[in-house]
Every structure is written in structure tokens, then in C-alpha cells.
Structure 1
Amino acid sequence: MTDAALQQLFRTAIAAADRHRLEDAVIAFRAVLLAQPDYAPALHGLGVALRRLGRVAESEAVLRTGIERHPQSVDLLIAQAETLEDWGRLDDAVDLAEKAHSLEPDDGRPMAVLARLRERQGHGGLARAALETAAASRRPTAAALTALGRMQRQAGEIALARETLDRAVRAAGKEDMAAARVQRAIAMLCNGEIAEGFREYDWRWKTGLLPSLNPGLPPWTGDPLAGRTLLVRAEQGMSESLQFFRLAAGIEGGRVIFEAPPALVPILRASHRVYEVVPEGGPLPKADCWAPLLSLPRLLKIDADTIPDDVPYLRPDPSLLAPWRERLGPGPKIAIAWQGGEPLFEQRKREIPLADFAPLAAVPGVRLISLQKGGGRQQIDAVPFPVYDPTDEMDEGDAAFIDTAVVMQECALVVTADTAIAHLAGALARPCWTVLPEGGDWRFGWHATQSAWYPTMECLRKPPGGTWRDVFDHIARRLIAIREGREDPAATDEAPSAQGMGQAAPYGAGPDDLSGN
């Protein structure tokens, strides 16, 4: 095969990989290597294509051969590190990424890979240090800048995150642009730039992380419905469905059909705020146009001054209260939840160890009531303090959230991590203290303690460099003061953080009644 023919075959392989025709790319790369077995770019391309096909063992073997023949190839070392990451061999992947960085200190790619590996290992500080090294290199990648901007935003450094993410957008190519723009959108939303942030957030559809929801109907443009039927399709999860349902419920001039996660259908239907609520996964109803749920703020032209905060917009059936009142018994009760899922685009779970709730259990005369669902419930048996778990008595099927809403009505206060429970409490206008990580979460708003979306909610953030226990010690001191009939000390308490823990609860968002009467 002539050199010209070989180069043409290699270009064909690259083009197939770029168009995600990975099987064709594998065939073409193998053909190149059959003619020139030591050609490093083809070994690299074949290894990457195999990994993207999920053929990790084959990818590892190809790349190991490539590294044996080209031990100084940064491209091969990075590709092998990513393959070993997919295989779960994180320590070996770290070694390869560090070697690649030592060979090319001005190349930001090895540090970007190393940062991702360190984050997966739970070493957030080392991950950020690696990203800062990558960002300061002569050739920082958009991926590294995007990841650094995300970590800065999660640490509450919003202005710095915006600068870094602006750099990421400028450096991004076609493959990296959507991720950079989505992270910049989230930083905007965390900064109170609601209108601009939701416009930018439309880039989420180009990340490949969301399934297409397009039902083949014309997209709604926000114009008057004029008697038409609008299908609003939920996306991302139950928290978002609970939070943004209010926007669908406020659309007038036609019929609104809301497609929701099945577990939420009964409680959303009970609100009687939209024409119909249908479960995800079922047959789609007839409609004239459609919109994805998190596009409604943009379509309705919501900004920081027009966020609809009229609560409650969900209500449980009052006839269900009496049985639960008898089950839960007398005295003041605090409902708690500690574990949610991993929100899209965040790479960190919404969870707090139940053990860190211990100071609440020490508040005299108060009972802790678990509203935790799913995998986190096993922690109840591992803590040395009592938590009443009524979830076995709840309907764990489609009506589970109705029971949860009723139990909330019987509790003086909800204290929860960033979970769907927080959004349900806010939608029900229940007093709720939501415990957030340092940088908070854009879904609750940008104010240090108040939620822009939920008037009866107070946001309590983990102090920078502090622990979750610091937050719960602070909460316990406040609850003890309230139990003793003293003023809520939030405005004067020497809180462990100046951001989010030193101001009084807004809008009278304290407990309903902790007096014990």
C-alpha cells in the first residue's frame, strides 16, 4: 500500500470515528495497522474507538501494545488512562496520567484526566489542584476549564467560576461546547441571572446526557395557547418535576397536560392545577404542541423578579391526616431525609450521612421521623439514636408521595438534604430547613439563606472547610432555644459560616410548633 493510500485510509478511519460510526472506524484503523503495525496515531484511534464501543479489554490490549512501542506518547498514555478508568482500575489510571503530565507539562489534557480520576476517588482537593494546574498550562483544554469552573461554582466561588467558564467557552470546540455552556448556565443561575441562565441552559440538549423528548409535535414558543393543548414533558428527575410544575400550572388559555415520573402522578393530579397529569413511559396523549419542563422559565420569560413563589401549589387530601396523626403519636416531630440521587451535570451526590443528624436527636422531647426512600434507609439501623421509619406503612407505589405529604403536615419542621423531599415541602408550604453543600444548588436560588422559589424554606450551607456536623450543631442550638421559648438565635448565633448560617429564617420559615403541647 502506498503512503498516499495509507493516509487516505487513516483519514477515512478518523472521519468514521468523528461521525460516531465506530465499527467502521475499527475496521479502517485495523486495516491501517495491518499495513503499518507501529503507526501510533492508528493504535491510539483504534484503542479509543474500542473503548467507546464498550470493548474495554480489547482497548486496553491495543493501547498497552502502543505504549510498549511508543512509551513517550502522551496521546496513548491518556487514552490508556481513560480505558483503565472505565475498567475501574483508578490507581493504575492515575499513574498513567501523572506520567503523561511529566512528559508534557504544558499540555492540559493529562491533568484534566487526573482531576476526574481524583474526583472519582473522593479526593476533591487533589482534583481541583490538578485542574488548576491544567488551567495554568500553555494549552488548557476546554474540558479542564469546564470541570474547574464546576468545582469553583460548587465551592460557592461564583464570580471566579464565571471567569473560568467564559474561558472554557472560548476554548471549546464542537465536542466540548455544550458541556461548557451548560456549566456556564448553571453558574449564571446560581448568581441570580435567571433569564440569561435559562437561555444558556438550552445547551443541555447537545450534551448527549439527556434523551430526546421530542414527540414529533410543534414546539411551543410561549405564545398564547388560544384553546390549544400543550404537552409539558418532565425531564431530569422528581425534584425538578415538583419545582417547575408550578410553571405548567400557571399557563392559561388552553389545556395543559403534564407528563411526570409515575410516583408523582397522584399528588400532582390531586392539585387540580392542570388539565391532566400522565405518567412517563405511557402512551402520549393528543396535543397540539409541546415543551420540555425546564424550558418553561425561558418560554414564560421568568427572571429574578418574576419567579412565581405562591405556595402551596400542592395539597394532600385532608381526610388522610387522621390515621397518620394516630400513627405518629403526640409531641413535636421533625421530618428528615438525607439522601437523594446525583443531579445531572453535577458529579456529586445529594447526600448527607444520617449519623451527622445526631445533634437533632439530642434536642429534648423531639422525635425524628424518616421520610427517606430507597437505598439510604439502611443507615437507620446503623445510627445510635432513634429514628421512626414509617415508610413500611406508606404506600411505596405510585401514591408514596401522597403519604409523605400527609406526614409532613403532622411535623413541625422538615430538615433535609438536597432531595425531592425539600421540593415537596416547599410546594406544600411546610417549614423546611434544607442543608446544602458549600455552593448550594441553583434550584433553590442564589441568596445565602432564602430560597427564591420557596418562601417557607431556609437554606443552610455547609461552611467552607467545615463539616456537616457543624451545620447540625447549629440547627440543634436553634431548636433547643425554640423549645425553651427563647428567640430563634439565628440572627445572633456564632454560626460556623458567615454564608447561609448567620441570618434569621425568612418569611417566618421556622418550625410550626416545637413547644410540645
Structure 2
Amino acid sequence: MPALPDDPATAPQQSPEFLAGLLASQKGDRTAAFAAFARAAARFPAHGPIHGNLGTLAGQLGHGALAARCFRRGLAVDPGHAELWSNFGSQLRRTHRDVEAVAALKRALCLAPRHANALCNLGAILFEAGHSARAEACFRQALALAPHLAEAAKNLGFALLRRGELRAGFGWYEQRHAVAPLPPPALDTPVPRWQGGSLDGLSLLAVAEQGEGDTIQFVRYAKLVERGGGALTLLCSPALKRLMTRAEGVRRVALEGERVAGVDAWVPLLSLPHLLGTDRGSVPGGIPYLHPAPEDAAAWRARLSGAAGLKVGLVWAGNPAFDGDHRRSPRFAAVAPLLDLPGVHMVCLQVGDGRRDLVGRGLAGNATDLGAEIHDFADTAAIMAGLDLVITSCTAPAHLAGALGRPVWIMLPFAADWRWMEGRTDSPWYPTARLFRQPAPGDWTSVVAALSAELQAVVAGRRPLDGLV
């Protein structure tokens, strides 16, 4: 006789529905897993963890409201389940409901003070809020309880990097591959992953693994490989290929997905700072290390030759797929006052999603919108070569302007990305950069006001434009 829905002899975790959900999850089929766990929840409505599994899957599938309802159902029937509270906190964090997320995680830690995942998740929220020291304490406590918790190790790396402890930070950051393994590149002949050591005579393939801004920032290590006697091939995105063929120290450029031949080893690009022993005193300099094609730069310079005043490039938004983009991107409405400044000609360099901010807006005569004509980063680099200054949010053009040695003023959120460190108005990565930080979370008005005052001082001759090449 089949077990009835409330048959105590049937363990929910051993039911066919639950096991089918686990199997589908292991295969990466989240839709099938959700359907199986939904059947399990219908059969065992008083089993909280099943509802928690549904909540996690709904969140991963992008259904935030459904995820919250699933977690709340689970907690209604099992309010003393620490793992449920911890996972609910993670989901709330993903949907940027940080106050509720902190409350859920603290509830988990009240129920289970040694819950390493809850500590790690709490640390992540504290880090994103700018409380680096408290976040670091959470990550270290989580690692003391669970030494192999890679997420806590990676996050500890971020906390140390933000504090400027580069050697230790990059070391911990290596644990990112335990969180999300980086598959080896397509190679004609399998070669090992480089773990450090002599570069002399080594043909090394560096694989771009993060956003395009990261690739621009860390391709500077190609020069160190070259100085060590090695030759570096870079695997990067199509948008970067033309630019990277002119990067100092890069011997060859291949596109993501292409099969590469003739290399002795491969390495994730962002592992080079760790493997080459970077600390605060040994950040590779040599700015600029990226260069536009001279003929392209000349053409764009001629295009803008009729613009009067200080020529300033402007970018106000990054890739919305980046989890923290809502914090780092001021959007056009926030920066629009910059277009009203006398003596300044704004050149809009915005591409991608941020261009929708311009729909229905007319630009004044002292502004030129070039975003629709930009096809890749080589185009942007060539335009920047003819500008006096670039003002940008924390996104790839900030790194591009810095790598080109152009003066760049970067608008930063209150809790900025690790690479800008804490409390600085300058950057060891980019000597021509100035950092304009929010004084409080979400306060772009103060940032734009500070930028306006500085621009007016430059136009009036009261202040030099630092770093002008």
C-alpha cells in the first residue's frame, strides 16, 4: 500500500520526489529540480527544508518573489531551522533587501552560533555596506569553523584587498576557483595550469575570467611575463581583441572559445598578481600600457576638433548583469548637471544598457553623443586619446582611461569595489585617476556637486588638470 501524505514512516528526504529533485539539481537542471521539489512539498507540506530547496531554486531562476514565499512557508512550519534562515538571508541579499537579510542571518546565528555559512553571508552584507573590519571578522570566524569554506576565503580576500593588503588578499582570492571552477581553455595539446616559478622561455596563455574592466586592469602583467623571459598569449572577449593586440607585453591575442596552439601552460589572468607576488609596493606601473591605433585617434580627434572648451568624456552606467551595478552606476539623471557647465564640452561615451537613459532626451549643443558609434574598446580608447578628461562610474572605461594614462575622475559608491581601497582619492593602479566617493550610501548628488566644482575650477584656471598628458 503506498504511503499516505502524512505517513510518519515515510522520510521526506527518501521520497521519490525529493530524490528526483536532488538528481536534477546535480545535473544543473533547475527547472526540473523545482518541479520535483514542488511535488515533494505537496506530499510533505510540513517539511520545511523542502520549501527551502524550492526557495533557493526559485531565486536561482530569477523569481525573487516566489523564492521569498517558499522560504516563508518553510519557516512557518519549521521556525527553528537555522539552515532555512541562513538560506533565506542569502536570497534576501540577492534581491538587495539587506536589512531583512541581516535579520534573517542573525536569527540563524541565534539558533546555531557556529553556522559558518550564515557568518559568511552576514560578512558579505557587511562588506557591501562598507563595514570591512566587521566583515573580515565574520569571514575569519567562518573559516575557523569551516576551514574549507571557499566562499568565506574568497570574501576574506576581497576584504584584505580593499584594505590594501594586496599580497595576503590576492592569496585568499585564489579560492574563487573553488567557488566557481574555471574550466581549462580549448587547447590543441593539453598543458598544465601554471602555478608560478620561472618564466624564462615559457609560452603562457592568460585566460580573461572576469569582467572586461578586470582584463584591462590586469593585462599590465603581460609586461612582467615578458621581462621574466616569457611570452604571453591573451584569451579575451571580442570587444577587447583589437585593443589587446596593442597591449604592451602581449605576444598574441585569441578569442574566447578559440582553440589555441603553441603554449606551454595556462593561467587565469587574475592569478598573476598572486603568482608574481604583488604587494602595495610592487603594483606594476609603466602607465600607459595600452595604446590606441594612431590613425584611429587622429580621426576621432579631427571629428571633435570643432568642440569648444574642455573636452570631457562621460560614462554613467556599467553592465546591469553585474550584481552590484545598482550601487555603482549613478545613471544619466544623476550626472546630467555636468552637461550644464560653461566651458565644458561633454562627449558621451556610454554604450550598452545605459544608453536607454537618453531615450527621449535631447542633448545641448555643448555635448556630443558618440556611444552609438562605438563598436569596441579600441574605438573608445581612440576617442579618449583626444579628450582632456574622462569622468566615469566604476566600470570598464575607468580602467581603460587609467591604462591609457588619460586623466580620469571616477565616481565611486559609498562602499566601493576592493580595487579602489578605502579612504583614498588616488589609486596605486592608475596614477592619473582621482576618486570621488559617495559620503553616504546612494548620495550621487554630493559626488556630482564635487565634480562640478572641480571642473569649474579647472575651466577658470584655478586648478590644473592633474595628470594631463
TM-score, with normalisation over the residues of structure 1? 0.79
Quote how far apart the aligned CAs of 1:302 are.
Answer: 1.0
Conserved? CA contact 1:67–1:77, under 8 Å = yes
Quote how far apart the aligned CAs of 1:480 are.
Answer: 2.1
Quote how far apart the aligned CAs of 1:211 are.
Answer: 3.3
- 1:126-179 Cα offsets, whole Å, 9 max, x none, are 3333334334442564333222212211222111110011122233386xx121
Q: Is 1:39 the equivalent of 2:45?
A: no
What secondary structure is seen at the aligned counterpart in 2 of 1:459? strand
Quote how far apart the aligned CAs of 1:243 are.
Answer: 0.7
Give the Cα separation in 2 of the matches to 1:224 and 1:37.
Answer: 63
Question: Which position in structure 2 is the counterpart of 1:324?
Answer: 300
Question: Which position in structure 2 is the counterpart of 1:202?
Answer: 174
Give the Cα separation in 2 of the matches to 1:64 and 1:233.
Answer: 40
Question: Which position in structure 1 is the counterpart of 2:59?
Answer: 85
Question: Which position in structure 2 is the counterpart of 1:390?
Answer: 370
Q: Is 1:236 the equivalent of 2:216?
A: no
Give the Cα separation in 1 of the matches to 2:36 and 2:385.
Answer: 60
Give the Cα separation in 2 of the matches to 1:88 and 1:279.
Answer: 30
Give the Cα separation in 2 of the matches to 1:389 and 1:241.
Answer: 26
Quote how far apart the aligned CAs of 1:487 are.
Answer: 4.3
Sort the Cα spacing of 1:127 and 1:407 in 2 relative to 1 into closer, same or farther, 3 A: same
Q: Is 1:254 the equivalent of 2:230?
A: yes
Conserved? CA contact 2:216–2:400, under 8 Å = yes
Conserved? CA contact 1:267–1:402, under 8 Å = yes
Conserved? CA contact 1:462–1:470, under 8 Å = yes
Give the Cα separation in 2 of the matches to 1:59 and 1:71.
Answer: 17
Question: Which position in structure 2 is the counterpart of 1:491?
Answer: none
Quote how far apart the aligned CAs of 1:429 are.
Answer: 0.8
Question: Which position in structure 2 is the counterpart of 1:456?
Answer: 432
Q: CA RMSD in A?
A: 3.2
Conserved? CA contact 1:189–1:445, under 8 Å = yes
The amino acid that maps onto 2:369 is D
Conserved? CA contact 2:318–2:325, under 8 Å = no
Give the Cα separation in 1 of the matches to 2:245 and 2:319.
Answer: 24
- Among 338, 341, 352, the alignment partner of 1:360 is 338
Give the Cα separation in 2 of the matches to 1:343 and 1:88.
Answer: 12
In the TM superposition, what are the counterparts of 1:182-193 in structure 2 within 5 Å? 182-193=154-165
The amino acid that maps onto 1:237 is G
- 1:290-311 Cα offsets, whole Å, 9 max, x none, are 3221111111111111111321
Report % sequence identity.
Answer: 32
- 1:246-298 Cα offsets, whole Å, 9 max, x none, are 11222221322222223222222224533222322222030222322111111
What secondary structure is seen at the aligned counterpart in 2 of 1:129? helix
Question: Which position in structure 1 is the counterpart of 2:191?
Answer: 217
In the TM superposition, what are the counterparts of 1:419-498 in structure 2 within 5 Å? 419-487=395-463
Structure 1: unaligned runs, 5 residues or longer: 2-29, 489-504
Conserved? CA contact 1:38–1:69, under 8 Å = no
Sort the Cα spacing of 1:139 and 1:383 in 2 relative to 1 into closer, same or farther, 3 A: farther
The amino acid that maps onto 1:152 is L
The amino acid that maps onto 1:390 is L
Q: Is 1:226 the equivalent of 2:200?
A: yes
Give the Cα separation in 1 of the matches to 2:76 and 2:151.
Answer: 27
Question: Which position in structure 2 is the counterpart of 1:492?
Answer: none
Question: Which position in structure 1 is the counterpart of 2:270?
Answer: 294
The amino acid that maps onto 1:202 is E
What secondary structure is seen at the aligned counterpart in 1 of 2:210? coil
Sort the Cα spacing of 1:133 and 1:433 in 2 relative to 1 into closer, same or farther, 3 A: farther
The amino acid that maps onto 2:135 is A
Question: Which position in structure 2 is the counterpart of 1:377?
Answer: 355
What secondary structure is seen at the aligned counterpart in 2 of 1:270? coil
Give the Cα separation in 1 of the matches to 2:169 and 2:117.
Answer: 20
Give the Cα separation in 2 of the matches to 1:384 and 1:118.
Answer: 38
Quote how far apart the aligned CAs of 1:91 are.
Answer: 2.7
> Number of matched residues?
457
What secondary structure is seen at the aligned counterpart in 2 of 1:305? helix
What secondary structure is seen at the aligned counterpart in 1 of 2:204? strand
Question: Which position in structure 2 is the counterpart of 1:412?
Answer: 388
Quote how far apart the aligned CAs of 1:195 are.
Answer: 0.9
Sort the Cα spacing of 1:113 and 1:348 in 2 relative to 1 into closer, same or farther, 3 A: farther
The amino acid that maps onto 1:298 is H
Q: Is 1:180 the equivalent of 2:160?
A: no
Question: Which position in structure 2 is the counterpart of 1:5?
Answer: none
What secondary structure is seen at the aligned counterpart in 2 of 1:388? strand
Conserved? CA contact 1:108–1:140, under 8 Å = no
The amino acid that maps onto 1:208 is A
Moved more, 323-332 or 162-171: 323-332
Conserved? CA contact 1:373–1:391, under 8 Å = yes
Moved more, 80-89 or 436-445: 80-89
